[in-house]
Amino acid sequence: IISMVLAGVASCNEPETVVTNIVHPDGTVLRRIEMKNLENKFEVSDLQVPFDSTWTITDSLEINMEGDTIWIKRAEKLFSDVEEINRTYLSDSGANKDIKRHAEFRKKFRWFNTEYRFSEIIDKKMSYGYPVKNFLSGDELNWFYSPASLIDEKLNGADSLRLRAFDDTVDKKIEKWYLKSLVSEWIGEFARLTGDAEEDGISMEALKQREDEFTAILEKDFEHFDSLWAEGTLLREFIGDANAVRYKTEADSAAELAADHFWVSFKDFTSRTIMPGKLTETNGFVDSSGVLLWPVRSDFFLTEQYEMFSESKVSNLWAWISSGLFVLFVGLGILIHKKGKG
């Protein structure tokens, strides 16, 4: 239920957006944004990634295979460093303005090679939620983080029956993760607001011991959650009649905070990175055309920081030549010295 609601929120009036970072050895970054929409509508409030009039912007349209007209907006700008990118995030007024994110760049000289690392990091939204890896296996985690296009391709491929069953299993585990993280977030915020009232049996420790029980109650009655919470039924089950009256204000505030942290206002997009030299390590995906990419969804930074990183290296030809000449000169010197003694 929760995943269906999140998917519905994410897909509403959303341009299909791809952001490409072309990282240069000197730390400058050429950023390109391509947005596609069925309407010629690219309102600031709908944009997933910030850009302004300082960018080079072009508009065009194309007809897709279904005969639909696709409106395309492209924007491009060369940033002097990642700090300039980060300043655009701070001044973002678009669809994802409430999400804290930043870019990092690192360069290390290793004589024969120069190593580069570029990453974009999105801060987590929930303070007390659980890492998704606590609920999914290695293969399930890889599926969870995979681009939608790759999942769709596999679900419609030769092994579709097995993978559809696998996809259903992952969805059920993700629902469990959602619910348990939501309950944990409420417990954490409620304990904080009440000052961890141990004397009333509602300390953080006491509430956490009943977390599985709370999660089961929420899972059973989730469709009627609003009415049951408003009536006080759920709260009385959680903390007892007396505490439900005494701490109703704190409980309501904790519920609002937990909901705000969980129902993330975010519009998905795809991020791509092109690194200098040879790619050596990344947590991204390489698509069929050899492009390094990451899907960016609110699930990914719900309970954990989401980092999209890539590392590469460039051979320093001059270092190899210099080292070769040095070895050659030393070898010749030794040879000449030996001949002189002879």
**pLDDT surpasses 80 at 248:** yes
pLDDT computed for residue 149 by the predictor: 87
More confident residue, 336 or 195: 195
Mean pLDDT along residues 275-295:
90
**Percent of residues, the chain, with pLDDT higher than 90:** 59
Token duo for residue 328: 């050659």
pLDDT digits over 91-140, tens only?
998 889 989 999 999 999 887 789 999 999 999 999 999 999 999 999 99
**pLDDT surpasses 90 at 8:** no
pLDDT computed for residue 318 by the predictor: 59
Q: Which of 1-15, 29-43, 237-251 has the lowest average pLDDT?
A: 1-15
Indicate the pLDDT class of residue 10, thresholds 50, 70 and 90. very low
The three state secondary structure string of the chain is CHHHHHHHHHCCCCCEEEEEEEECCCCCEEEEEEEEECCCCCCHHHCCCCCCCCCEEEEEEEECCCCCEEEEEEEEEEECCHHHHHHHHHCCCCCCCCCCEEEEEEEEECCCEEEEEEEEEECCCCCCCCCHHHCCCHHHHHHHHCCHHHHHHHHCCCCHHHHHHHHHHHHHHHHHHHHHHHHHHHHHHHHHHCCCCHHHCCCHHHHHHCHHHHHHHHHHCHHHHHHHHHHCHHHHHHHCHHHHHHCHHHHHHHHHHHHHHHCCCCCCEEEEEECCCEEEEECCEECCCCCEEEEECHHHHCCCCEEEEEEEEEECHHHHHHHHHHHHHHHHHHHHHHHHHC
**Rounded Cα distance, 218 and 182, in Å:** 10
Whole-prediction pTM: 0.84
Closest by CA to 190, choosing from 217, 211, 174, is 211
Burial of 269 (0-12, 13-18, 19+ CB in 10 A): buried
**pLDDT surpasses 90 at 164:** yes
**Rounded Cα distance, 29 and 78, in Å:** 6
More confident residue, 244 or 43: 244
**pLDDT surpasses 50 at 9:** no
pLDDT computed for residue 249 by the predictor: 94
pLDDT digits over 195-232, tens only?
877 777 788 888 999 999 989 888 887 788 888 888 88
More confident residue, 205 or 22: 22
**pLDDT surpasses 90 at 329:** no
**Rounded Cα distance, 126 and 229, in Å:** 21
Strands 113-122 and 101-109: antiparallel
pLDDT computed for residue 42 by the predictor: 82
pLDDT computed for residue 315 by the predictor: 85
Mean pLDDT of the chain: 88
Token duo for residue 252: 């309501």
Mean pLDDT along residues 17-40:
94
331 phi/psi in degrees, rounded to 5: -60, -45
**pLDDT surpasses 70 at 7:** no
